[in-house]
Amino acid sequence: MLTGRDRLLAALFAVQLLAAGIFGAVLVNGLGDDRSQLVTAAPQDGRGPVDVAASVGPSAEAAAGSTGTAARTQTTTTGGSKGTASGPGSSGASATVVPKGAPIRVGSIVTQTGAINFAASAQGTKAFFDGVNAKGGVNGHRIVLDLRDDQLDEARGRAQAQQLLTSGVFAFAAWQAPLTEGRIVPFLEQNKMPLVGAYGVGAEYSSPYAYSFQSHHYGYEMGRFLASEPKVTHPGAIFISGNAAANAAQVRAITAGVKAGGKSIASGDIVQVDVTKASYDDVVTQFKLGGVDGLLTIIDQTAYNRLQQALDRQSYHPVHVADPLFTDPTVRQGPTTEGTLVASDFSFIETGGPEVQEYVAAVRKQFGARAQISYLGLAGWFSAKVFVEAVKRMGDDISRANLLRTMDRLPAEIGAGFTSKLYFSPGAHDINRCLQLGKVASGKVTPYKPYACDNENFD
């Protein structure tokens, strides 16, 4: 028989369950509807999002520690949230074919707030699409960009991808969202949704629906570049950790690249770090005491600032091969960064030809003092360019199926002026297999070694 105390405890437990249920419902509803999280523009013509000037997100370092409205209202976005966007119909399936002359709605997710800031990519994409629209569109179609910020939150990004699909976007394009992309391939394949231009994560390179123009040969080629430097006898590496499969693939790629360069790297000298790692003092101490004299790094902009501070504090400056984010404008350059080697699958901004300078001029004209000119911006611009080139070749058959067929037949020279030869084909998409190497001089990158390519695959 229950005592009065037992009945009281049972009642309290029931109240707790009810409260938890209500809180959970609110939380799920908040995840599925990000209207309070995005800066949006009200539709003007009843057809959905309008092209509004994108705002520049906060710096990555500021965003990492910011909360509340201040962080949210600086999000770059050009599209409405759930319930405001409309396309040819109310479901994703209705947008598989675009009628002649109708707008082509494109959905893009770019991480712009959180521990990393890829807002430059959003600016590049928007500037290119706006330029196309100013000239009358493509094949009689205006491009309407619905741009979201996942705030480096995979669950948020997945909800946004579902919202974009439900709102009726024709295709995804120009994504730079590493956590959201990590497990997005099953969603793309289930919905037969093309993703034209992506950050490039794991399974995206083996899916017939995802096209990343950014190479996944960084680990291998950077390892080979580092090992080929005469002063390097004991290499080490640091890269930002992803899922277990991606981490294992990166370790294999770095190890094989160093070996291809004629040297070896110990497993203990390949360090995986979280994107939010606050200090690199421990890793620098480990490498310095261990005698590492050559360093390979694949990290983000703010991490490069923290790493450089740790290197300077310990007066330790091994030969350093960095990824292209090392020369992002947010990375502080100085006497101790001189001579750093920078690997990139795209042209360097300072020495790029007329195609690259067209990107620079367009973004500066559109965004003025808020313009962010960088490798990431060039990648966003190029993704938009390739999407438009594919639409041009599609003629009047603007369908997802034809977009996939057209993408798989694009010429290798489409990257001329931006990158090296590209490899388009049906099936798995290992499109960009080449990287070049530059060297920092007076805070800018100058050419050092030409593009090196390989057919290695470590996924």
Question: What's the maximum distance between 2 C-alpha atoms anywhere in the chain?
Answer: 86
Strand ranges of the sheet holding 270-273, from the earlier edge strand across to the other edge: 270-273, 235-240, 294-298, 319-322, 341-344, 434-441, 444-453
| Average pLDDT of the residues in 405-414 | 97
Q: What does the domain layout of the chain look like in residue ranges?
A: 1-32, 60-215+352-428, 218-344+437-453
Query: Which amino acid is located at 102 in the chain?
Result: A
- Please say if the pLDDT value at position 84 is more than 60: no
Tokens of residue 177, six digits: 């969202």
- Please say if the pLDDT value at position 24 is more than 70: no
pLDDT at 459: 78
- Please say if the pLDDT value at position 428 is more than 70: yes
Q: Do domains 60-215+352-428 and 218-344+437-453 have the same CATH topology?
A: yes
| Average pLDDT of the residues in 264-269 | 97
Q: Which residues pair with 138 in a beta bridge?
A: 141
Of 38-47, 73-82, 295-304, highest mean pLDDT = 295-304
pLDDT at 115: 83
The tally of CA atoms less than 13 A away on the side-chain side of residue 39 is 19
Confidence of residue 195 (pLDDT cuts 50, 70, 90): very high
What superfamily would CATH give domain 218-344+437-453?
Response regulator (3.40.50.2300)
425 alpha carbon, distance to own chain's centre: 22
Express each pLDDT in 232-250 by its tens digit: 999 999 999 988 888 999 9
What superfamily would CATH give domain 60-215+352-428?
Response regulator (3.40.50.2300)
Alpha carbon separation from 141 to 89, 101, 106, 197, 385 (Å, rounded): 17, 5, 12, 20, 15
| Average pLDDT of the residues in 340-364 | 97
pLDDT at 78: 52
